[in-house]
Structure 1
Amino acid sequence: MNRFETHKAVSRRRLLGTAFGLSMAAIMPNLAFAAGNGAKAALAFDGDAILLGGDVLRISSDGGKTWAEHAAPGQVLALTTHRGQAGLVLAGLAKGGVAISEDGGATWRSAAQGLPGGPVNALAIASRDPELFYAAIQGDGLYKSEDSGANWALAMDRPWLNEAERDPLTLVSVDLETGMGGIWIYAGTELGLTRVPDCFCRWQDVQPGNAMDALVAGDAPPPENPLPAAEPVLSLASSPTVPERLYAALASGIWTSADGGVVWQRMAETPASAVAVHPEDERYIAALMGGNLKLSRDGGTTWTATSVV
C-alpha cells in the first residue's frame, strides 16, 4: 500500500461531505485555477521561495523567473509553511491525509494518524508554534495536531452558516492580541469569512474587539466594509511581520484588510484563486489571478506576471 494512502473508513460526516462536494462542483466549476495538468493550485512562500502545488510541486527561488519541478506526494489542494522554520512545508492531499516536508518540498512523509478519510481542503500552522498544525477535512471538521503532525484530533466542527455546515476552503492562523492566547484561526468558506479563537469556543463573524467580547455579544452586526456578501473566499494570507494585514483571494479579485479583517478594500479586480505573502515583507505578494501567477513588490499597487501559468 502506498504510504500516503489514507484509510477508507467513513467519517461521521462523509455522506454530507460527498453531497456537498458534488453540489460545489456543479455550482462553482471555475473558482479554482489549474496548475500542471489540471489540478487545483495551492500557493505559499517558504522563505524567499515560491511554492505552487497541484499534480506536481513547482518551486521558484528567483522571484518567479525560473521554476524547478518536484514530484508531489499526491494531488495537492493546500500548502502552508511557517516563518520560524524554513523548509517546513505541509501539503493537504485530495485523496486524504497530510504530507510533510522538512526540506522545502524535496522529500515527504505521511502525517495522517487520527485524520479521517476525505480531501484536506485547507491547512494552517499556528503563527506562534511551528509544531501546532490545523487541517480542514472536507465534509468533516477542523482537526489539529500538537506534535508536528504525529497525531491528530478533532478541534472544531465546520462553521455553521446559513442553516448548514460549510467546509473551510482556506485557513490561516493570525497572531492578534484580540484572540485568546493571541491566536485566531480564520477560515474562508463558500459563504464568506469566519474565524474562531484558539479556545475553539465558537465560529464567529469578524468584528472589532477581543474574542471574549465577541463571544459575550453573540451575533453581532457585520463590519462596515466586509468582503462581498456570500462570495466564496478561496484563499487567505496573513503577514507575519504585520499580522493585522490580511489578504483574500475571491472571484471578484484580491482584497486586503489592515485591521484583522474588519474593514476590507479591493486591491486588484482580476478574478483570483490563491494568494500568499512573503514571511518577512508584507508588501511582497504572490497571487493566482486570471490564469496567471503574478507578483507584487509594492503591496498590490502593481503586478508582474511570472513565467508559470
Structure 2
Amino acid sequence: MRAIVHSTTRAAWGFCVLTLAIVLPALAQAQPADDAHPVTALTINSSGALLVLQDSDLFTIAGGTSTKIALPATDQGAQPTFLARGVDGSVYLAGPGLGVWRYDSASESWQSLSNTLPNLGVTAMAAHATQPETLYAYLGKDGMFRSRDGGAEWVKVDSGPREPVQAFLHSDMPGSMDSGWLFAATTRGVSRSMDCFCFWGDAGDLRGTVSAIGYDPAAPENVYAVIEGQLHHSADGGETWTSLKTPQSVTALAFSPSQGLVVGTANGNLLARGAADEWTPVHE
C-alpha cells in the first residue's frame, strides 16, 4: 500500500511540475510590456556617471552599479521632472511644486534655490553651458527667470515663446550676439533664441509637442528633440531635422563623455547610440 501511495504522490508531483513549466512562461509573456516605469529625465554628474530620474526616484549609474540618491523632502504633490548639469558639474533638480534644488555631493544633501522665485511652479529649467553660476527657470505664465549667482536671486528676463515650454537647454553654439542660445521644447515644435532674449523663432519646421531636448556639448550644432517618442536630430543648430530610428519609444536623453548619446525609454531602459548608429543597452 505504501508503495502505491508513494508512486501516486510522485506522479502527482511530476504533473504539478510539468504544469508549472508550461503555465509560468505563458504568464510571464502575458505581463504587459509597459510594467516598467518610463525614464523621466537624464543627465551626468561631475564624474561622468549617468543620473536617471524614474518614477520619482533618482539613481546614479557607474561601472554597472546603480545607486539610489534620496530626493529632497518636499510637500506632497511636488513632481521632480527635470535634471540639469552645470558646467562645473553641479546637478540640479526641478519640477512643478518642487522649485529648483542643487545637490551637494560632499554632504549628500539638497539645497533649495527657490527663495526668490515667485512660486514653485517650475515647468522647465536649464544651466548655462559656460557660466557655472547662471541658471534658467521657466514658470509657465510667469515667464522665464534667470539667476547669475547660483540661484540666490532670480530675475524675470523674458516671457518665453508663445507656446508652453516643456523643456529647454542652453547651448554655446556659435553665432549668438551674447553668450549662447536657448532651445525650447514647446507644444508646437522647437523654438530658439539668443540668450540676450532678442527674439524667439522657430528652429526649423519640426512640428508637434516636443517632450525632451538635448545637444552634444562637443558639437553644439547637433541638437536632438523627441516628439511622441520619436527621436529627431538636427546637425545645423535646428535649421533642418531628420528622424532617427530607435528600438523603443524615447522619453529622455543626455550626452555621456564615454558613451555618447544616451536615451531613456518608455520601457524604463537606457540605450546608447554607437558609431554605426546601432543602439545598445546601458547595463545597470
Letter in 2 for 1:48: G
Q: Which moved more, 1:142-151 or 1:264-273?
A: 264-273
Given candidates 229, 250, 253, the residue that maps to 1:272 is: 250
Structure 1 residues 299 and 198: alpha-carbon distance in aligned structure 2, compared to 1, 3 A threshold: farther
Residue 173 (1) aligns with residue 174 (2): no
Q: Is the 8 A contact 2:95 2:124 kept in 1?
A: no
- Equivalent residue number for residue 21 of structure 1: none
Contact 2:272 2:281 in 1 (8 A): no
Aligned residues: 243
Q: Counterpart in 2 of 1:287?
A: 263
Instruction: Identify the match of residue 127 of structure 1 among 125, 129, 135.
Output: 129
SS in 1 for 2:202: coil
Relative distance call for 1:188 and 1:290 in structure 2 (3 A) is same
Distance 1:109 1:252, change over 3 A: closer
Q: Which runs of 5+ in 2 are unaligned?
A: 1-33
Structure 1's 114 and 274: CA in aligned 2 closer, same or farther, altered over 3 A? same
Aligned position for 1:219: none
Look up the equivalent residue of 1:233 and give its one-letter code.
V
Which residue of structure 2 lines up, in the alignment, with residue 49 of structure 1? Answer: 49
Inter-partner Cα distance in structure 2 for 1:200 and 1:112 = 22
CA–CA separation in structure 1 for the residues paired with 2:108 and 2:277: 34
Question: In structure 2, the residue corresponding to 1:139 is in which secondary structure?
Answer: helix
* Change in CA separation of 1:92 and 1:205 when aligned onto 2, cut-off 3 Å: same
Aligned-residue Cα RMSD (Å) equals 2.5
Partner residue of 1:70? 69
Question: How has the CA–CA distance of structure 1 residues 147 and 110 changed in structure 2, closer, same or farther, with 3 Å as cutoff?
Answer: same
Aligned to 2:85: 81
| Shift in Å, 1:199 | 1.1
Change (3 A) 1:184 1:105: farther
CA separation of 1:35/1:159 partners in 2, compared to 1, >3 Å: closer, same or farther? Answer: farther
Deviation at 1:306, TM superposition (A): 4.1
Residue-by-residue CA offset, 1:202-257 (whole Å, 9 max, x unaligned): 21122xxxxxxxxxxxxxxxx4xx32x2x111111111111111111221411111
| Residue number among 261, 266, 274 corresponding to 2:238 in the alignment | 261
Relative distance call for 1:107 and 1:250 in structure 2 (3 A) is same
Alignment of 1:231-250 (within 5 A): 231-250=208-227
Corresponding letter in the other structure for 1:266 = S
Deviation at 1:72, TM superposition (A): 0.8
Question: Which residue matches 2:139?
Answer: 137
Runs of 4+ in 1 over 6 A off after TM superposition: 33-36
TM-score, structure 1 normalization: 0.71
Preserved CA contact (<8 Å) 1:287 1:294: yes
Q: How does 1:80-159 map to 2 (within 5 A)?
A: 80-82=84-86, 84-86=87-89, 88-103=90-105, 106-159=108-161
Alignment partner, residue 251 of structure 1: 228
Q: Give distance in 1, aligned partners of 2:272 and 2:281.
A: 9
